[in-house]
């Protein structure tokens, strides 16, 4: 079975802004294969960048079709543990990305991202196109 994938906001931004890019082509392929899962943090980050209400409605409707992972208490705790571990090593990454990483690890998903700091999260699988 193919691994399910959480697509990070950085990749979705390229998807919307550069429809002809290689990253966009790979994401389109993953969508056709039904391997993409949405999480609340990514949804919120994308919607905060939408300037036109009509576009926001289109984005919401498009993302409704994707499987969705919800946060639980255990996953919040996992995010805190990841953060503490990284801080002990002198590394700080944004809380939003800690949440995405905790969701991915806790649900056996990979992350498709172009943000290099995800490479520092132990136990996280990154999707490499």
Task: Give the 3-state secondary structure of residue 22.
Answer: helix
- Evaluate if residue 1 carries a pLDDT over 70: no
What residues contact residue 49 under an 8 Å CB cut-off, 6+ apart? 13
Backbone angles phi, psi at 20, to 5 degrees: -100, 5
Q: Residue 70 and residue 26: Cα distance in Å, rounded?
A: 25
Query: Mean per-residue pLDDT for 13-35?
Result: 94
Res. 78 pLDDT band, cuts 50 70 90 = very high
Beta bridge pairs of residue 126:
111
- Which pTM value belongs to this model? 0.92
Q: Residue 125 and residue 118: Cα distance in Å, rounded?
A: 9
Query: Mean per-residue pLDDT for 62-78?
Result: 95
Q: Which fold has domain 5-124?
A: Rossmann fold (3.40.50)
């Amino acid at each position: 079975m193919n691994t399910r994938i959480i697509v990070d906001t950085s990749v979705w931004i390229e998807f919307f802004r550069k429809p002809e890019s290689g990253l966009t082509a790979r994401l389109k392929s993953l969508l056709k294969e039904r391997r993409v899962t949405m999480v609340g943090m990514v949804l919120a980050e994308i919607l905060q960048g939408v300037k036109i209400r009509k576009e926001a409605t289109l984005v919401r409707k498009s993302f409704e079709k994707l499987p969705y992972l919800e946060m639980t208490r255990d996953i919040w705790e996992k995010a805190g543990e990841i953060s503490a571990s990284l801080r002990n090593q002198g590394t700080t990454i944004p809380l939003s990305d800690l949440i995405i990483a905790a969701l991915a690890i806790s649900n056996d998903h990979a992350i498709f991202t172009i943000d290099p700091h995800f490479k520092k999260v132990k136990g996280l699988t990154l999707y490499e196109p």
